[in-house]
Amino acid sequence: MRRWNAVVWGLAILVMAVMVFAAGVQAQSTGEAMDEAGLIAGWERLVQSDPETQVFERIEEKRYRFVTTRFPYDGEIEVINTSIDSTAGMYEYEYGYSFGVVEVDLSGVDDEFYRRHGASYGQFLEYTFLYYDADQEKWLASWELDYGGIDDASCSLSWWSFFNEYLVWLLFLLILIVVLIFSIRKSSRHMKKALAGQDQALSDQKEALDLARQSTELQKESLAVLREIREKLGAGSPDPE
């Protein structure tokens, strides 16, 4: 019994530890929200991932040191405006994405710069048009979108989000089922032992009754023999004069 209690307490402590760990993981989640801060965070991530970006360092909020080989530039870049389209546009309605844009300004450049490097700067602007995927909690660039497999991907991500959100409770339910199974098996073993004990007691009682019945029969036989002896003795004795 003590061993069984130790197992139950061990499982309970394990469940509590898993719940605390999951709560810590959720608290440290790095998902990007569908707001200005999340949009800028997604844009920063994309610019830093650009192979042409040499330096991208935050100077202050919405201002960065920026060096790129996509076009000749070594200076500062500033976020001057952001916009998130909350209406059900084509991407959101048909593919499940919401649209956001980050408007930026390169310090110290003139119209001649944009005229000379319009094509390469236009490529860089593709990093400022982002699409929010609620399942991944992430802002994506246009080349990261999966139009053809969006239904399957969304379904898969939805299932993953479901398991990720309810993982602790699923583990708790699983452990509860295991504990319940062990309890039922333990109760079943006790019941089998009790039934076996009852069967043995009934067998012993039956054996005792059989012995008592045999004893009664022997007593009857003994009385019959004694009665027969007395009758013979009475018949063979002489009459007194």
Closest among 127, 68, 66 to 101, alpha carbons compared: 127
pLDDT at 25: 45
pLDDT at 106: 96
> pTM for this one?
0.51
CA angle 33, 67, 69 (to 5 degrees): 110
pLDDT at 69: 96
Burial of 95 (0-12, 13-18, 19+ CB in 10 A): middle
Q: Is 75 helix (H, G, I), strand (E, B) or coil?
A: strand
pLDDT digits (tens, 9 = 90+) for 194-233: 777 777 877 778 887 878 788 788 887 777 777 777 777 7
pLDDT above 90 as % of the chain: 34
Indicate whether 35 pLDDT > 70: yes
pLDDT digits (tens, 9 = 90+) for 8-31: 555 556 555 555 555 554 444 457
Helical residues (DSSP H) of 98-142, grouped into ranges: 111-116, 118-125
CB 37, CB 21: distance < 8 Å: no
Cα–Cα distance between 87 and 99 in angstroms, integer?
Answer: 9
Cα–Cα distance between 173 and 171 in angstroms, integer?
Answer: 5
Indicate whether 155 pLDDT > 80: no
Tokens of 158: 């939805």
pLDDT digits (tens, 9 = 90+) for 85-122: 866 454 554 566 788 999 999 999 999 999 999 999 99
